Structure 1
Amino acid sequence: MNFPLFIAQRLFKEQSDKKKVSRPAIRIATAGVAIGLAVMIVSICVVLGFKHSIRNKVMGFGSHIQVADFMTLQTSESYPIQMGDSMLRVLKKVPGVKHVQRFATKQGILKTDNDFLGVIFKGIGQEYDTAFIHANLKAGSIPKFSDAKSGNQILVSKIMADKLRLAVGQKIFAYFIDMNAGVKTRRFTIAGIYETNLSQYDQAICFTDLYSAVKLNGWESDQASGAELTVHDFNQLNRSEDYIIKNVNRTIDKYGETYSSKTIQEISPQIFSWLDLLDLNVWIILALMIAVAGVTMISGLLIIILERTTMIGLLKALGARNSTIRHTFLWFSAFIIGKGLLIGNLIGLGLVVIQKLLGVIKLDPSIYYVNVVPVEIDWALIILLNIATLFISVFVLIAPSYLISHIHPSKSMRYE
């Protein structure tokens, strides 16, 4: 039988005695652990949700990896690269790659009778994964974009629609500058309106079919601006990129253009650097909350030891070692911490679930890129957080527990 554990269980069950001086201290210690854990859970879930929401939006416009002409990836101009069936088969065999889709871009101007707006037309083909556009579609529908013929339909963002007063089904003229042929004019129909709240993309990109973008650029049918690759596991992104660098980059197509590649992190470094800074905020919050929980537990343990001085002296008189008594109070502290963890999980996860289901807390999308606070529950991290909080809180109590060694049986018997 574990004697320290048995005594600790008896002490823990006696907390209902209102005459005990330590009762408020135990409540404060429990509350400190519970509040600290709840704050940590909410912080982690919010940061994870925010990072993944913004990251998914950025990747929705540029996927995980882009393979294109070297000059396209180094400048804002779009240069053609061969993207025929043979190159697509090569890219689909890259380890970890889930999906490959072509794209072509062309800068142009949308013009109404009263206003005009410079935009980037992104041409996409029938293989393009439109799940991201569907998730952010506000009005209309997504037409079947093709690389074989033009449907003369476009998707514009809500920002564009508001500036030009556009509506679904409306016709609009687009003008394109060609260095050889002069100005080209096309008449498009607004098929749908999307909104991602990622303003730097919403202000610039409208979607059309790949055929139109290629023809407007004056390219061959097997050319495009590049290909976008989606990987199965974002954490293994660099592995796929390394394979592309070794086997695709620096090779030359039949038109004499050079293949190159970039990850979405290299294409949008400012956004990903900003998201990485959020991790530092989380670590600061975790450190502060664990420190608060540790201080409250130390205070509570000292009060409990002082209140139980007579009991400690009696145990020593009966032959109990200092280590046995210390283990008893550490077990008792573990029970208090465990109760605080249970309450903290209920509060923290409860708040997260309420936000996830109801979206109670709203945000300004022009600043935060999302209209509600996004949350994401990672059970592995939450379990790890509970275990770490328990062990750290017990660990910081080891030193204060040595106060028991200075209590003498003869003096403690007279302690009141």
Structure 2
Amino acid sequence: MNYEFFIAKRIIGSKAYKSSISAPIIKIGIAAIAIGIVVMMIAIATGIGLQQKIRDKVVAFNGHVTISNYDSNNSQESGIPISKNQEFYPEFKSVEGVNHIQAVATKFGVIRTETDFEGAIFKGVGEDYKWDYFKEFLVEGRLPVFSKKWSEEVLISQYLANRLNFKIDETFQMVFAKDDPEKLPNYVKCHIVGIYNSGFQDLDKQYLIGNIRHIQRISRWESNQIGSFEVFIDDYSDLNKKGVEIYQNTPSTFNTQTIIDKYYSIFEWINIFDKNIYGIIGIMILIAGINMITALLVLILERTQMIGILKALGSNNWSIRKLFLYNASYLILLGLLWGNILGLGLLFAQKYFKLFPLDPTVYYVTEAPVYISFGYIFALNIGTLILCLLMLLVPSYIITKISPVKAIRFD
């Protein structure tokens, strides 16, 4: 054990240290570190959690990449049909990292009841549909089964069900207009087997999910014709790269669109969270560092005589600076310990008990989601410790200006 660490340990353990003039300043410094780490952990956990939650909800309705015919139609409705007989379907083997591809079609219609009506997009899907995301969204009933050639089962959002007073096992008619306004519209009978709530109201109020054969019938398509393909990839961080690869491995008559391109404004909005997180981290570390600088200066001024004696005994300036940096490290670590206990406690409480709700019309989620990873928690603690110590190197330089003769003089 080096003597700087030994003396620092003795100072920390002494009763005089705990009851000295600097004690309140030290407590404030520890509290600043603890509060700072709590705020930073919450900012990262909720920021990343919100990004992932919103992203997953958009992916649930669209896949990561959409493959369709080139079409000037900008609506959500499927335009020119494409054949399912493609080399990349039902497995996209030519692009590594693609885990699923499914055939879908969409058509706008009107849900009609005896007393009310509501416009919605009927999303037709088949046996290959990936229900993984909707298992989490399901609030009542079950998911539809489309193993048979014909099925009237549909999954409707809680938003639409509440507006139209629908319950599980009820049936209704959906009306689809024909291209020729003089002809009678098409009718589709729907049987509600499940109600979902993704929390993303902009999408919930648009979509209900049913059998793709309904759209094929009313659009007069062949059984192998669909509106588009939805592609799912393993790693979202590779989305742009995989989007290009998918485009290069599809026929020239097809267009591909990533969810970022399709919902550009939403993804631009959630990318702002990164800047907010960096800003909060910077401000919190600066505040914690300033408080620790104040605490260190008070400790140095309080121990001026001790510094003079150590210098008279032959200690150099760097050794004495190390002594006080060891002391400051202890205070920082103590603050980090309390900060981690409080921060993780709040995050786990929010994760399992949903203490803080959010307005889904603004944030697209019903409660504040949290992302907990010990990787970023470890990096945050190490980064805070190192940056605070680096900030303390400058004020510790004041030790070099203390004269041993003046410091040990007793008036």
Q: TM-score, normalised by structure 2?
A: 0.94
User: For 2:221, what is the secondary structure of its paired residue?
Assistant: coil
Whole-angstrom distance in 1 between the partners of 2:221 and 2:254: 17
Give the SS at the match of 1:106: strand
Aligned to 1:194: 196
Once residues 285 and 270 of structure 1 are traced to their aligned partners in structure 2, the CA distance between those partners, rounded to angstroms, is 23
Q: Distance in 1 between matches of 2:67 and 2:301?
A: 69
Other-structure match for 1:106: 107
Aligned length, in residue pairs: 408
Alignment of 1:20-35 (within 5 A): 20-35=20-35
Contact persistence 1:95–1:243 (CA under 8 A): no
Identity %: 36
- The corresponding residue for 2:399 is 404
The alignment status of 1:348 with 2:343, answered yes or no, reads yes
Matching of residue 129 in structure 1 with residue 124 in structure 2: no
User: Which residue does 1:367 correspond to in 2?
Assistant: 362
- Asked if 1:13 corresponds to 2:8, the answer is no
Answer whether contact 2:76 2:106 (CA < 8 A) is retained.
no
**How far did 1:361 drift?**
1.7
Contact (CA 8 Å) 2:77, 2:106: kept in 1 or not? Answer: no
User: For residue 150 of structure 1, what is the aligned residue in structure 2?
Assistant: 150
Larger displacement relative to structure 2 (155-164 or 65-74):
65-74
2:92 and 2:100 in contact (8 A); partners too: no
Check conservation: 2:38, 2:342, Cα contact below 8 A: yes
Letter in 1 for 2:276: N
The reply to whether residue 221 of structure 1 matches residue 226 of structure 2 is: no
Q: Distance in 1 between matches of 2:18 and 2:207?
A: 68
Q: Render the CA deviation track for 1:262-292: whole Å, top value 9, x for unaligned.
A: 1111111111111111112111211111111
Q: Structure 2 vs 1, CA of residues 211 and 92 (structure 1 numbering), >3 Å: closer, same or farther?
A: farther
Decide whether the 8 Å contact of 1:309 with 1:415 is kept in 2: no
Please state how far the C-alpha of 1:194 moved relative to its aligned partner.
Answer: 1.3
Q: How much has 1:17 moved relative to structure 2?
A: 4.1
One-letter code aligned to 1:236: D
User: Any idea what SS the aligned residue of 1:261 has?
Assistant: strand
1:36 corresponds in structure 2 to 36
1:389 aligned residue (384, 393, 398): 384
1:324 aligned residue:
319
Q: TM-score, normalised by structure 1?
A: 0.93
Tell me which residue corresponds to 2:289: 294
Q: Counterparts of 2:15 and 2:226 in 1: how far apart (Å)?
A: 73
Identify unmatched segments of 5+ residues in structure 2: none
Amino acid of the structure 2 residue aligned with 1:128: Y
- After TM superposition, give the deviation of residue 90 of structure 1 in Å: 6.0
| Aligned Cα root-mean-square deviation (Å) | 1.8
Does the CA-based 8 Å contact 1:314-1:413 persist in structure 2?
yes
CA contact (8 A) 1:72 1:78 kept: no
Residue by residue, what CA displacement relative to the aligned partner does 1:3-57 show, whole Å, maximum 9, x if unpaired?
A: 3222222222226644422222211111111111111111111112211111111
- Deviation of the 1:182 alpha carbon: 4.5
Please list the CA deviations of residues 79-137 of structure 1 after superposition, one character each: whole Å capped at 9, or x if unmatched: 21222253315624321111111111111111011111111110111111112222112
More deviation in 27-36 or 307-316?
Answer: 27-36
**What's the offset of the Cα at 1:370?**
2.1
Contact 2:91 2:101 in 1 (8 A): no
Alpha-carbon distance between aligned partners in 1 of 2:118 and 2:19, rounded to the nearest angstrom? 76
Who is 1:313 aligned against? Answer: 308
Task: Give the deviation of 1:387 after TM superposition.
Answer: 0.7
CA separation of 1:415 and 1:190: change in aligned 2, threshold 3 A: farther
- SS of residue in 2 equivalent to 1:351: helix
393-402 or 190-199, larger mean C-alpha shift:
190-199
